[in-house]
Amino acid sequence: MSDFRQLWDQLAPIGRDPDSGGYLRYAWEPAELACRDWFRAQADARDMPVEEDGNGNLVAWRGGGDGPAVLTGSHFDSVPHGGAYDGPLGIVSAFLALDRLPAEPRGRIGVAAFAEEEGARFGVPCLGSRLLAGVLDPERAAALTDRSGTTLAEALGRTPVGRTELLDRVSCFVELHVEQGRALDQPVGVGSAIWPHGRWRLDFAGEGNHAGTTRMADRRDPMLTYAYTVLAANKEARLRGAHATMGRVDVEPNATNAVPTLVRGWLDARAAEAGALQALVEAVHKRAVERAARDGTAVTLTEESVTPEVAFDSGLVGRLAEILAASVLPTGAGHDAGVLSAYVPTAMLFVRNPTGVSHSPAEYATDADCEAGIDALARVLGELA
């Protein structure tokens, strides 16, 4: 059994739903805490002291000295019923890459596990890295609530501290991640940029009523406006060569025999540049408002988070591509690397995804490609550290 497979199998059962085969690893909930315990054990086994940054992020440090460190790593948390690779592959690969380096590296290397990258629990993706980078107000973050009403401060056990001097000790950050869109025809590629993307909430308000007795003409049914907007968002994204998804919806009262009072839908939109993204969201909103007038409903749009276009450090990207003789590609997915790239030179390594499926139990990479990813990361860390 390869060292990758051996380590991978330790994590595999943690938080896996036996019915879907997908993962339910939410920040600071038992499954994700078990992953953190595993992280601490891996660090201990390598004599790497673990630092908690006051924002829920962990970093295991290897090598002494005061010189700037090379940081690598990723996250443990998943989307609901997500795949095994998105996040954990970057952490497992980091520890194994260290094992393949000479015992005495030239400089310090840190392995990070960032908190709440998916935003599945508190609604803000890259929560941990945003706090660390100082782009999310700690007081605002502390008050975020999950679906059961628990605040982030309660989950974390404290108000997060926000920006610390940790990043000042880092010379560069390289995140290894499974690729997510059938964009690689070789085992490993180098990430060049992240499309600008964001989440918008659309509240469709109507009039709750009885499904059996209310005449169709008397209804103000917000589900109709929602449904129209779902189709409009898809069409607008296709027309523009962008991405739009409405994969989450909450309905009140969500009863079979009641016209809803409120339908709340979320729009995930991404495009190659900021202007195109803004135009896409405006087009979807305009069509929702037009339809609402027809349905007698009301629609309000709330921007929940927007991440501008990220271009990774061109010097670092070029150096990685050269070291690995690998191709360079952008991605539509947000990552902690995208947040940190504004503060330290950052790049990503992508491991091939043969089906392009991710955020799903079917998410997959071959063991051979994962091994190639570890080798690539080891070469990169060896050069940079």
Among 105, 134, 181, 296, binds a second copy (CB under 8 A): 181
Residues forming a β-bridge with 310: 194
Nearest residue (CB) to a second copy, 62 versus 287? 287
Among 2, 6, 10, 20, binds a second copy (CB under 8 A): 20
187 belongs to the binding site for a second copy (CB under 8 A): no
Nearest residue (CB) to a second copy, 43 versus 127? 127
What part of residues 357-376 is at the interface with a second copy (CB under 8 A)?
357-362
Asked whether residue 257 is marked as a ligand-binding residue, the answer is yes
Site string for a second copy, 244-273 (x = CB under 8 A): -xxxxx-xxxxxxxxxxx----x-x-x---
Q: What is the DSSP secondary-structure string of 159-170?
A: ----S-GGGGGE
Nearest residue (CB) to a second copy, 53 versus 179? 179
Site string for a second copy, 113-152 (x = CB under 8 A): -----xxx--x-x---------------------------
What part of residues 282-341 is at the interface with a second copy (CB under 8 A)?
331-334
Nearest residue (CB) to a second copy, 112 versus 259? 259
Torsion angle (degrees, nearest 10) of CA 42, 360, 265, 211? -130
N-to-C CA span, the chain:
29
Task: Tell me the angle at which helices 3-11 and 367-384 cross, rounded to the nearest 10 degrees.
Answer: 100
In whole angstroms, the minimum distance from the beta carbon of 128 to a second copy comes to 16
Nearest residue (CB) to a second copy, 60 versus 271? 271
Asked whether residue 353 is marked as a ligand-binding residue, the answer is no
Strand 188-194 to 310-311 pairing: antiparallel
Residue 125: partners with Cβ closer than 8 Å, 6 or more residues away: 116, 117, 118, 119, 199, 305, 307, 334
Stretch that binds a second copy, among 35-43, 55-63, 205-213, 309-317 (CB under 8 A): 205-213
Stretch that binds a second copy, among 34-42, 67-75, 201-209, 276-284 (CB under 8 A): 201-209
Asked whether residue 177 is marked as a ligand-binding residue, the answer is yes
Asked whether residue 46 is marked as a ligand-binding residue, the answer is no
Decide if 64 contacts 104 (C-beta within 8 A): no
In whole angstroms, the minimum distance from the beta carbon of 315 to a second copy comes to 25
In whole angstroms, the minimum distance from the beta carbon of 11 to a second copy comes to 20
Asked whether residue 250 is marked as a ligand-binding residue, the answer is no
Q: What is the DSSP secondary-structure string of 285-329?
A: HHHHHHHHHHHT-EEEEEEEEEE--EE--HHHHHHHHHHHT--EE
Residues forming a β-bridge with 175: 348
Nearest residue (CB) to a second copy, 58 versus 237? 237
Decide if 373 contacts 349 (C-beta within 8 A): yes
Residue 220 exposure: Cα atoms within 13 Å on the Cβ side: 13
Asked whether residue 75 is marked as a ligand-binding residue, the answer is yes
Residue count, binding to a second copy (CB under 8 A)? 73
Q: What is the DSSP secondary-structure string of 340-352?
A: HTTTS-EEEEEE-
Asked whether residue 57 is marked as a ligand-binding residue, the answer is no
Decide if 61 contacts 108 (C-beta within 8 A): yes
Instruction: Compute the Cα dihedral for 224, 229, 230, 235 and give only its sign.
Output: positive
Strand 58-62 to 50-52 pairing: antiparallel
Asked whether residue 81 is marked as a ligand-binding residue, the answer is no
Among 385, 382, 378, 384, which residue's Cα sits nearest to residue 176?
Answer: 378
Annotated binding site: 75, 86, 118, 177, 199, 257, 270, 359
Annotated binding site for allantoate: 199, 257, 270
Task: Please give the annotated binding residues for Zn(2+), written as ranges.
Answer: 75, 86, 118, 177, 359
